Amino acid sequence: MSKKRRPALDNKSEDRFQIRSLALNCPTGYQIPLHSHEWHQFIYASHGVMTVDTSTGSWVVPSRRAVWVPAGMQHRIEMLGQVEVRTLYLRDGLWETLPKDCCVMNVSPLLRELILHTIDIGMLDCTVAAHCHLIGVLVDQLQAVNTVPLKLPMPNDKRAARIAESLRASPGDTRSLDEVARNAGAAQRTIARIFVAETAMTFGKWRQQLRLLHALRLLASGQSVTGAALEVGYDSTSAFISAFKHVLGTTPGRYYSELRASRTRLN
C-alpha cells in the first residue's frame, strides 16, 4: 500500500492548520481495523469501492463517492478491489453545520478538484490567505453535497440483530419474515415492529438495502450484473436493475462501464 504522509503537527502550529490530507492507494482486501480520530474525516474513493462499518450500521462507498465520519466515531474500513483513497481531515468544533453521523456523499467535479488540490498542498493553514479562502470554499461545498442512501442500519434488539447478521452472511436467503422470525424465537409482528423502530425501515426495505449493498460489492469484484442479481436473491435481472437505478440514478452496467471509461489514475 502506498501513501503520502503529512508532517506531524506540533503544539505551536496545531491551531493554524484546520484541514489536513492523506492519499492512500490500497490493494484489494486491505482492511483498516477499528479506530477513531479526533478530527472529522471526509474519505473519497476516487476509484474502487470501500465498506465502512460502525456500531450503528454499514456504508458502501462506490467510486466517485465519499463517506463522512464524524470525529470520535469508531469505524473500520475494507477495500473491495484496488481503491484510491483521498482523505481530508477537518478539525472538530469549527463548523457546527457539518454532519453529525456517518453518511455517503456524492462528489461533484468541483469538489473533486478541491480535494485533489488540497492533497497537493498537504495542510491548509488559516493564517495563509489563499489557504483560508480554500478552506471556506471546501466547507461550503461539503455543506451543499447530496447524500446517497447507501447505509445499512443495524437493529439493537438481540433477536432482530441475529436475523440481520444471518442475512448479512447470506444476502441471497429467500426465507420469509415469518420463517426468520420463528428461527430467532420471536413473532413476525414483533420483528417487523423492531426493524421499523430501530432502523427506520420496514423489514422488506431493510432486506432490499442489504441486497443492493452486497451487489455493489460483487460488481466491484468483477461479477456480472446478472450474476450479482441472482446471488443476492433477486428473481430477475430487471428487478435488480430497477432497484439499483432508483438509488444510484443509473443502471449497474452503465455505472461501472462509465467508471472504467473515465478512470483517471491519481499519483
The predicted pLDDT at position 28 comes to 84
CATH superfamily of 2-148: Jelly Rolls (2.60.120.10)
Under 8 Å between Cβ of 17 and 9: yes
Whose cell is 414483533? That residue is 190
The predicted pLDDT at position 13 comes to 53
Q: Which CATH class is domain 154-262?
A: mainly alpha
Give the whole-angstrom CA distance, residue 219 versus residue 158. Answer: 31
Domain segments of the chain: what residues? 2-148, 154-262
Tens digits of pLDDT across the chain (267 residues): 655 555 444 445 567 899 999 999 988 889 999 999 999 999 998 777 889 999 888 998 888 889 999 999 999 999 887 888 999 999 998 888 888 889 999 899 999 999 999 999 999 999 999 999 999 999 999 988 888 888 999 999 999 999 999 999 999 998 999 999 998 999 999 999 999 999 999 999 999 999 999 998 888 777 889 999 999 999 889 999 998 888 777 888 777 665 555 444 433
CA-based nearest residue to 13, from 130, 91, 101: 91
End-to-end CA distance of the chain: 13
Residue 62: exposed, middle, or buried by beta-carbon count in 10 A (0-12, 13-18, 19+)?
buried
Give the whole-angstrom CA distance, residue 20 versus residue 209. Answer: 33
Whose cell is 474500513? That residue is 77
The b-or-e profile of 101-127 (16+ CB within 10 A means b, else e) is: ebbbbebeeebbebbbebbeebbbbbe
The predicted pLDDT at position 2 comes to 57
pTM for this prediction: 0.79
Give the whole-angstrom CA distance, residue 153 versus residue 228. Answer: 22
The predicted pLDDT at position 93 comes to 84
